[in-house]
A and B are shown apart, each in its own frame.
Chain A
Amino acid sequence: DVKVTQSSRYLVKRTGEKVFLECVQDMDHENMFWYRQDPGLGLRLIYFSYDVKMKEKGDIPEGYSVSREKKERFSLILESASTNQTSMYLCASSRRSGTKGYTFGSGTRLTVV
């Protein structure tokens, strides 16, 4: 069964910590995405990558960075976590064309205290 795996289901971090969220896909997909989901706001795109070492900003990149050193792995980095980054983080991947839809991971619920 093909899948996107997010390393943690729940995380609690302190304000100011550097936080790494990891995502791995086993479908040889070219594209990978990071979204955050907040009540009433739906899913908002943080960053995406269409190839190894390539990245593009989404709608809300401030306070985040990403890394894609290998095709199957896309990491989201919170350089200095803040309470307003408490959220559900969802990773997804797709073929370059995107015509088969996205495959999502189960999500990481991050709480910054």
Chain B
Amino acid sequence: SQQGEEDPQALSIQEGENATMNCSYKTSINNLQWYRQNSGRGLVHLILIRSNEREKHSGRLRVTLDTSKKSSSLLITASRAADTASYFCATDSYGGATNKLIFGTGTLLAVQP
């Protein structure tokens, strides 16, 4: 079952612009995480925001979380061509013996030089 749905599915911007991706989810969560995937490779963990946090920063990344709307956004500031990748949100909902992540379908970001 898909928990997170990213919006937009694809985004194309110019180098130096900001990129914003949104994620909506359905059930209560412990935390929400964002991952990046370069073409045909594994995913890399970017940032985690807990359910009791509203905003978090890491370098050029800013993540917000609105649990009342069950939504999150990832902002990449001053984008670079190297930021071109797919970005996934993933929700962590404790159920059973351990935590497990449920991923959305991703946003494909293309940054034009």
Contact = CB atoms under 8 A, between A and B. Distances in A.
Do chains A and B interact in one complex? yes
Interface of A: 4, 30-31, 33, 35, 40-45, 48, 50, 54, 56, 58-59, 88, 90, 92, 94, 96-107, 109
A47 B44 CA distance: 20
B113 interface: no
Interface string B94-108: 001111111111100
Interface stretch (B14-22, B35-43, B64-72): B35-43
A39 B42 CA distance: 15
Interface string B1-40: 1100000000000000000000000000011010100001
Interface residues of B, number: 26
Given A43-B88, A56-B96, A90-B43, A102 B105 contact: no
Contacts, number: 74
Contact of A48 (B30, B45, B48, B98): B98
**Which 4 A-B residue pairs are closest in the complex by CB-CB distance?**
A101-B45, A104-B42, A98-B99, A42-B105
Contact of B45 (A44, A103, A106): A103
A104 B101 CA distance: 12
Among A48, A96, A100, A105: residue with most chain B CB under 10 A: A48
Contacts of B103: 35, 42-44
B31 A45 contact: no
Interface string B79-96: 000000000100010001
Given A48-B98, A54-B97, A98-B98, A42 B88 contact: yes
B42 A90 contact: yes
Contacts of A94: 99
A31 B100 CA distance: 9
Contacts of A102: 33, 35, 43, 45, 101
